[in-house]
Amino acid sequence: MYVIQVESTSMAYYVLQNYSGKCIRYADLDNNSLKVHMAFDLPGVEPGSDLESLFKAVGFITVQWGFAEQSLDLMMANIFHSFDRDQLLKKRPRDLESKVKLLRKCFTKIPELQQFVTESEGLLKRFLTIGKKRNDLIHGAIANISAVEGAFKFLKVDVSPNEQHSIRVVYLRDEEWTEFRRELIRLGAEGNSLAKSVEKSVNPK
């Protein structure tokens, strides 16, 4: 629910008229606060169903991974801003493996960043491990919308180095979900903590 401060009922009407509100369920005015209730319903998805659990899990993975990986982008942005003339920094990385590879080089070879070598190594390795699982689930296609023996099955199409296509089966298992979820949260917290430390190191106040 969003709360927007307004001065009058007429202003509330103006806000609603200019609000891109295809997903607004309803709104009310209470003590000069316009309360906009958002409806992100999924028609046909029964509450408590396997399909709802699937959407919640994949949605969580998407949102939490975005928060976690952004910490790598913030590190890269600060490093490029501070050491843009360094020979290591020829091209800004876009995919996860390229970001991890370049960060490792920066932490190893740029004297001002060598203090982060030990802290970053284990973290970056975990990013690659969890990132592979995340990519398989996000870029794979669901094969069964009901859990079978506590697992959702995804099909992932790969292209090998010799340009051949192959299909892999990937599972999201109930038994591994708790630890996977916790690791995503830890990556977000630890990644952003390291990003702040790097920022303070290269931009001391």
Which of 19 and 108 is assigned the larger pLDDT? 108
Same domain, 72 and 14: no
Same domain, yes or no: 103 and 155: yes
The residue length of the chain stands at 205
Inter-axis angle of helices 96-109 and 117-139, to 10 degrees? 180
158, pLDDT greater than 60:
yes
Q: What is the pTM of this model?
A: 0.79
Specify whether 68 is located in the same domain as 116.
yes
Is the pLDDT confidence value at 54 over 90?
A: yes
pLDDT at 205 over 50: yes
Q: CA neighbours within 13 Å on the CB side: how many for 31?
A: 1
Under 8 Å between Cβ of 187 and 127: yes
Burial status of residue 137 (CB atoms within 10 A of its CB: 0-12, 13-18, 19 or more): buried
- Looking at residue 87, its pLDDT comes to 81
Boundaries of domain holding 32? 2-38
C-alpha neighbours within 13 Å on the C-beta side of residue 203? 13
Q: In total, how many domains does the chain have?
A: 2
List pLDDT tens digits, range 74-112: 999 999 988 877 788 888 999 999 999 999 999 999 999
Q: Tell whether 119 is covered by a domain.
A: yes
Same domain, 186 and 91: yes
Q: Would you state the pLDDT for residue 20? A: 47
| Secondary structure element (H or E) that encloses residue 38, with its range | strand 33-38
